[in-house]
Structure 1
Amino acid sequence: MSVLEQTSHDVEAIPAPSKSLGRRLASLPIAARVAALTAAGLISLIVSSILLTQALYRSADRTADTKALFDLAANAAAAHVTFGELRYWLTDLSVSLLMNSQRNAEQARERLLDQLDGLSKSSPDAVREIRVEMDDYVKRALEAADSYTQDNRIIGNALLAEARTHSTNVDAALNELVEEVSAEAEAARNEAVRLAQKTATTAAILVIIVLLIGSLLTILVLRSIIGPLRRLNRVIGELTQGRYDIEIPIEGGDELGAMSRALRLFRAGAIEKKRLEDEAEQQRRTIAAALEAISDGFVLFDPQDRVILANSKFCEFFPDHARASLPGQSFQEILEQRLAGGQVDLAGASPEEWIAQRLHIHKDPAGFVCEDRFGDRWVRVSRRKTPDGGAVAVYTDITELKQRQDELERAKSRAESTNEAKSRFVASVSHELRTPLNAIIGYSEMLIEDASDQHMVEFVPELEKIAAAGRHLLALINDILDLSKIEANKMEIFLETFVVADLMRDVQATVAPLMAKNRNGFVLDLDDDLGKMHSDQTKLRQNLFNLLSNAAKFTEGGRVTLTVRRDRRPKGDWLIFKVSDTGIGMTPEQQERLFDAFTQADASTTRNYGGTGLGLSITRSFSRMIGGVVKVESELGKGSTFTMAIPAEFKKESGEQHPSEAVPLPPRDKAVLIIDDEPAARTVIARALAEAGLASFEAASGEEGIAAARAHRPAAIILDIIMPHQDGWSVLRSLKNDRELCEIPVILATILADRELGLSLGAVEYLTKPIDTEKLIQTIEACGGGNRDVLVIDDDQASRDFLRRILIKKDWRVHEASDGARGLGLMKRLLPRLVVLDLLMPEMDGFQTLSEMQQTPELQNIPVVVVTSKDLSMNELEWLRDRAVAVVTKGANSRSQLVKALERQISAAE
């Protein structure tokens, strides 16, 4: 017996609850029966759900009321505790008369008032009484304190006794209120428990009723379906064995009846086969007509690569050999016809090799698309395999498209040549402009200093105008050069790891004068865990400066805020920089074109505030280059907010240049050894030394430090005291007892305050953490010595005069050379303590000069400060950093940067 028959037998064995109900179900379609069963189940569920929901809502309301009462009880208890604190502080005030006690009492009173406000809705009368008594109590207690202050102790004692009476009344009222609310809360809880138990009982009864109704309806529906289905199953078995004379029962108008009729149609299906084949042929002819109407050549191959169907457009590609497109022709024969017609460029291959190559491509199961020449025409051939193993190909004439493409390529080449010429012109002009501008700015600043020193202050404002105009023009030149490099895709990225908070404080110091100019307040809002970034620090700094300078320019007497947050994401952290101001704001139309080059909000903005409109365009380009985005939100008259999102770790695409390897350990007279077990402390000191132009290397313990000192003989040692294993005192004794190391100056840097002991053991200075970096650099620089010769190598006379004036003020002997070759000759004769070198010079430039110095043993260790107006690439900057102690770019702030760099090197040389 089959499973279906067994199931039917089992269902029929169950006593029918109602014969008439079963017959009515049998007259319905199966879908209707299932729908009726489902509807009955849904109605039961809906009714039960409604009842349970109502019960649950009542229970939830009761629970919420209970919770509210318990919250009130907790609030009342808290108010009682707070009153105790108030009473304590007022009592303490009466005894100690301290202002701190009065402040604490006021705070406790305010908290108590807030707590009483929360109780006033449930117990207004009690709260009102408590407030009155509490106010009287506070008043009498404060009066008592005043009396004690005035040394009227009798009046004070009387007032304090009266205050205690009010205090007792408040305490009693609060106790009564706590007990009252707690009692109500307990009663509500008991009611909620009772209601929950009732709901659970109701739910159980409803579940039993639904199960009974569902079981009854399921039995009735199964009986109405399985019996007829068993009879049809037997007929299907006979038909599958080839006995088509079997009688097919008529099962009615439901789905089972439809199955019965389908079986009768199955017997008649063979008669329809021929008619369907005729229709298929007609459809093939229709498709052929449609193919003739398309503008591309079309051909269909069978699995043996013979033509089944082709349109007339395909034949046009073989005008002298139209038979190649006839049905039955093979693909190889078509290729041979093309060769015979002279339409093929063999490109040095033999005809046999060309045919073999084409056949191999044709049989590629993935299909292909290629462009081929048919005489003087270009044709795109698209070929794809069909599911039956054949192939379909489309031939498209693209001669006109090819001609246009060639024209576009030529136009693109001309545009690239023009852009390259423009970039060379801009770079050349900016260099020619920067050199005289540097002299103008430098001399104007020197004249300002001289005028101030000689008390000729009436000339200072005019000289400052000259310097400001020069800086403005130089900034414009730099912006145009940056924009040109961005457009030519020649702007390079220099990646480095840096501390975000340090950079933000540096930016804050830089923009402070801009903020003060328009009387703006500046707020720096930093997260505590900003951490580090690996990105192009220079471009990020310039972006922030552009945004902040704009905010300062368009805001007057307002506030500018720089907010920095670290957004931690699964695929990598981002740094979010927001620059907000309370300035003039912008309309939506102005915001749409804000980031376009040479564009400002409108013409009045340029007239009123100045500027070229390049800053924000460069900011957006720089942001994209380091993987970030920048957007603006603004409202006219209310201010603007610029948001810049930059990935915390930017990774260059493959194929781009990477930073050079670590610079080898510097010579002895330029290196400082840092001995400290804390990496963070070593990093802070190393950064300060690097900013001062001093190289450094590190050791994490006393043992490592002594070994490093023996191996590299540093110019100075910075030593921590508190370290594991071997502390700083022991290291200092070991250094001073060593004949080879005793002459090395040791600077102690620690949190301990024992200066006398450190100096008595041989240290040259004792600095307490956190270290004053300026004092540290001064101490290290005081350890040097040498001659007084400085060599300036620059082809520009004005630049040499400018540098000479700076150096002479420091009592140095200045020697000059106009190119690298003369400079090398002077170096070999003088062996100066310092070389100031320009890069762009005739005959021998600065790069060649540095290379020659590195190859000459007696010149290798001479410190070199590079001063140039050249726009350096990343590779050039890396190369220079390996060979020079400082690189200063001639610009708006170059004089101050140059003076600082020279002062550091001069101090080190002294």
Structure 2
Amino acid sequence: MSTPGPAPSRLRWLAENKIPLRIGSLSAVLLGALVISTVFMAFDLMNNLRRIQDANTRFHRLQIAASADRHFGEMRYWMTDLSVSLLTLSERRANAARTELEADLTRLEEFAPDAAGKIRAGTAAYYARALDAADAYTDGNRIIGNTLLAEARLGSDAVDQTLGQLVAQLADEADQANRSATLASQRSVMRALIACVVILIAGAALTWLVLRSILTPLDKVNRAIAALNEGETDVALPPEGKDEFGRISQTLRTLRDSQEMRRRLEEAAEAQRNTIMTAIETIPDGFALFDAEDRVLLMNARFRKIFTGVDDILEPGTAFEQILRAQVERGTVDTGGLPGEDWVAARLRFHRHPDELRQVLRIGGAWVQVTKRKTPDGGTVAVYSDITDLKDKQEELEEARAGAEAANEAKSRFLASMSHELRTPLNAIIGYSEMLIEDARDIGQEEPVDDLEKIMASGRHLLSLINDVLDLSKIEAGKMELYVETFALRPLLAEVEATVAPLIAKNGNRLIVDAQIDPDEIATDKTKLRQNLFNLLSNAAKFTSGGTITLSVKRVRRGGQEMFEFIVADDGIGMNDVQKSKLFQAFVQADSSTTRNYGGTGLGLAIAQQFTRMMGGHITVESQEGAGSAFSFAIPVSFSAQPQAGAGAQEAAHAGRVLVIDDEASARSAVARLVRDEGYDVFTASNAEDGLSLARRHRPDAIILDVIMPERDGWSVLKELKSDPDLCETPVILSTVVTDREMGLAFGAVDHLTKPVDPKRLISTLNAVAGDRDREVLIVDDDAATRTLFRRILVREGWQVREASDGQRALSQLETRRPTLIVLDLLMPNLDGFEVLRALKANAALRDLPVIVVTSKDLSGEELAWLKSHAGDVIKKGQNGRSELVAALKRHMAA
């Protein structure tokens, strides 16, 4: 069953492609005319050939008749000669002529059988009479011989007449055939000439028509294109259609529309450029835009004014390096004591790689803050701000800050000194009050007891206040210490409950203690824990009247660590969000009305927060106005000492500093909270640039890095970290939805965690950063690319890799953790590989540490001998360095 599908497609193709159709039709017509003319000429040629063949046939017949006539004449001659001479030779020749004549008559029978029979009969009769005449002459009968010869001659005349008529007839027929063939050939030539002329004229006419149908639209198209190229907008275009010219017209119309749109966009861009230039000129800072080749593209007048010493060369196209060298040569810039070439090189590095956010320079006697950013096309945007006034004010502020710090230090010293001076008399007042109360009760005098209790209560309150002030001053001075001891928690809770009972009962409150703490042993600072509980319970009792206060204690596990969590909840007045934001600030309460109504100094919660941090925990609050508050803090079951920092430096005791880089706020907050709960100080960044800036500023102990971030992904951040000599040693933990662990390790990460991150694994990974590992190698090389290569090789072999950019940093790392072996470069800044080897041999703890030397240095015989005696293997860079490195690692692991 046939499908009708292709027919419409062929018709559509013919409708859309008329030029091939026209040229094909013209070729078909011309080819058809050529074929027809060739057929007619071939037909005429065949007819002429037939006529020529007929003429040839007639000429051949004429030849046969003429040959018969000649042979008959020869036979008659020899027969006559035989009759006269009676020679045998004449007879033989006559017989030969008769034989030839008989052959001619045989051929003549094919086209003239009657004439051939008549001639044969006459020839036979003549031949017989001539022989009879010869016989008569031989016998001597001449009269009979003459009579017979005369009869034979009459017979021969009849034959000769017949032959003559036949030859004449055939000659006439041959002439007629020749004339007919000649005339037919002439007519064929004439017809061929006429056909050629007709075909030529018709082909030229058709070709002209076809070319005209093609060239006329093409001429219109060419004129339209030329007009469009000249920028004309009102251009007459050929009509649109489905054929080629219609499509060309559509294309030209699209081109015209796009040119019109381009003109509009150019006008809008020019207007925007003018607007931007106007805006740039109105800003108070110097502005310049450089291309990818560091050449000036545009600048404002303020930029020229800042660089007034070299303003004669500030033109578009001027190289930034040329501007810098002109500044140095003319002395219009303060190089800060650096040689001119070094200053120019430093400025070029900052210009081409503006990693830092800003740079402050002294230009033309003014302080200028330079901020640069790279554009997507590789150019640079530079903003120059005159901060001379700010610099002067900063100096004033620095002086004021130094004075304030000195005053604060003096205040702390004064508070510490005065607190100690006041505690002695207060202890005496309290002690004597207690003694007088006991004496009064012993002698039965109850009247002074109330007054003495008031004196004792006031003394204790004042002593508590002084103790708080002293504690706060110690914290601010960084002199507060922890006294860790192991004790049972239940007796402490009972002691706190008994101590705080009078305060709880004062406002008619009830205390409930809920302790789920089996086992209840804890190792921490007992005094500070007791003071924390007392502060929180007294705070709850003060703001609650006729209510219930609950102290809940339970064991919890957070981040892989056992902790005790303490929660003090009340159903008192509660707090709003504004009041909660002011908590934990020294000498600050919720608001002034709280101080008037409830009293207090605002130190209790601030000290509780500091003590909690020192004990390795953190404190939080949940509260709703009119519905009470709940303060909670958690501290480790077994406290391990960590470096401490004073509150004046705004840093609490921590297990280390961790930088979290993640563009998702929720993920960043969750990881930061989890890590902070484990005692780490946390810095966070929402993008790669801020993360790199924080890493360079704070030098964290570990970095938790997301891979997929906008603008710049984590792979590039990790690569830059491992290329920075100051940051290449920092452990990086990848936290991402990407599951390519091997790629992360090859780029330099110490581990790869897949989101959502398992808290236990994250904390154990952070804790393991400072721990020992099996199959751990330290790569010491100042070339970042070489370190990256070795890292990928070693990670593939299952090694944990650390890096150091020079020998000094390597020795620093070896002091904290010993690797399985070292891969060491020889030529490095600060401390080269030879000095590292000498330092290792001089250290008894590191003397047996395997070292593989990898170097590009051309070693002398003495150097090689020395290295072989001080290192395990020596591998040249390049060549078969990769396989040699792996082989050396395997040898050392086997050993």
TM bucket (normalised to shorter chain) is: 0.3 to 0.5
Larger C-alpha radius of gyration, 1 or 2? Answer: 2
Which structure carries more relative contact order (alpha carbon 8 Å, separation 6+)? 1
Report the TM-score, using the length of structure 1 for normalisation.
0.38
